[in-house]
């Protein structure tokens, strides 16, 4: 190599970062997108959470940040961002800035400028992209981290690398997430419809497991030790209980749920009746 030449330094090594996304963050992002200004094509915001010792990023909260962008520049409302972060710190001081999000299908040209701003707010910030169009009723959610391309000592650009994203939710959150994916619904499912959907999903998963086990036993599929251990742990976690006792326990739980629904409807009816009587008394 000749003396005085400049070396282009490329990032080396693998990126061992995993992001864990809580479903409430998804709901916050979609809500901020719906409430955006008519002129705004997308929404950006700050991600809050924590980083564990093994490098896993836990995304637990978020808030939108006003911004203006064009093909050449991006303007972020820094004062609003820092004010919101101070308010969140008063409620939950353990949540820190871990990155930012945007409602887009992927990384755009101006994301490097916003990533550079958040790199001053957090170490190795995570960039979360959410495609709010939900094409084919399927969400497109991706997480990225960036590395810097250097030419000698001069910074050229930021290179984004996609990292694994883990989206876990309980059944109640999954029901709401399924409704959110449809973008347009006639009505929200009630408790019984949500339970029916959860039981149907559980039945399909059990059928899938049965077919896999049958294929392995019959020699139509190769066994996987990881799947076998997972199934063994799952079966071992189920308490041993007689079928009659299980049916009684399940029916009692359903009756308790129906009783709660009945009392909630009764309370709602009484409040509505009291409001109408109060209004009529004021008119008289």
**pLDDT score, position 9:** 46
pTM reported for the whole predicted model: 0.62
pLDDT category at 132 given cuts 50, 70, 90 is confident
Model confidence at 135, pLDDT cuts 50, 70, 90, reads low
Structure tokens at 251: 């029916």
Please determine, for residue 267, whether its predicted confidence score (pLDDT) is greater than 80.
Answer: yes
Helices of type H across the chain: 23-34, 78-91, 111-119, 171-181, 191-218, 225-236, 243-283
What is the token pair recorded at 260? 């709660």
**CA dist 158 → 63, 144, 185 (Å):** 24, 11, 40
**Which pLDDT score, from 0 to 100, does residue 263 have?**
92
Rounded mean pLDDT of the chain? 81
The two three-digit tokens of residue 231, written as one number: 């199934």
Q: What is the pLDDT of residue 148?
A: 74
Give the mean pLDDT of 43-63. 89
Q: Give long-range contacts, CB 8 A cutoff, 24+ apart: 112-118.
A: 112/146, 112/157, 112/158, 113/73, 113/74, 114/44, 114/67, 114/74, 114/76, 115/146, 115/158, 115/160, 116/158, 117/76, 117/78, 118/46
Q: Is the pLDDT of residue 81 over 80?
A: yes
pLDDT for the residue numbered 73: 78
Indicate the burial class of 25 (C-beta count within 10 angstroms; 0-12, 13-18, 19 or more): buried
Q: How far apart are CA 54 and CA 44, in angstroms?
A: 28
Mean pLDDT over 208-216 rounds to 90
> Which pLDDT belongs to residue 8?
40
Residue 5 has a pLDDT of 47
pLDDT category at 4 given cuts 50, 70, 90 is: very low
What are 156-198's pLDDT values in tens digits?
667 888 888 887 776 666 666 666 666 555 666 666 776 777 7
């Amino acid at each position: 190599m000749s003396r005085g030449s400049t070396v282009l330094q490329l990032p080396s090594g693998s990126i061992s970062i995993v992001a864990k996304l809580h479903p409430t963050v998804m709901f916050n992002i979609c809500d901020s997108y719906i409430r955006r200004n008519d002129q705004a094509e997308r929404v950006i915001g700050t991600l809050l959470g924590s980083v564990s010792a093994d490098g896993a990023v836990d995304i637990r909260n978020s808030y939108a940040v006003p911004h203006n962008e064009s093909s050449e520049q991006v303007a972020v409302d820094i004062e609003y961002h820092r004010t919101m972060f101070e308010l969140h710190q008063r409620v939950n001081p353990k949540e820190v800035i871990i990155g930012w999000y945007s409602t887009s299908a992927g990384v755009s040209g101006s994301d490097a400028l916003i990533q550079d701003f958040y790199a001053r707010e957090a170490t190795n910030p995570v960039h979360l992209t959410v495609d709010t169009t939900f094409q084919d009723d399927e969400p497109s959610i991706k997480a990225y981290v960036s590395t810097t391309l250097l030419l000698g000592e001069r910074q050229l650009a930021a290179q984004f690398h996609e990292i694994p994203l883990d989206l876990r939710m309980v059944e109640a959150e999954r029901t709401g997430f399924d409704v959110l994916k449809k973008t347009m619904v006639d009505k929200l499912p009630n408790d019984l419809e949500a339970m029916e959907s959860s039981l149907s999903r559980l039945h399909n998963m059990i059928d899938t497991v049965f077919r896999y086990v049958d294929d392995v036993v019959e020699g139509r599929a190769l066994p996987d030790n990881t799947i076998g251990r997972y199934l063994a742990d799952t079966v071992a976690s189920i308490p041993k209980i007689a079928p009659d006792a299980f049916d009684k326990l399940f029916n009692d739980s359903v009756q308790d749920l129906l009783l709660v629904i009945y009392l909630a409807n009764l309370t709602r009816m009484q409040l509505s009746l009291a409001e109408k009587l109060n209004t009529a008394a004021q008119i008289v």
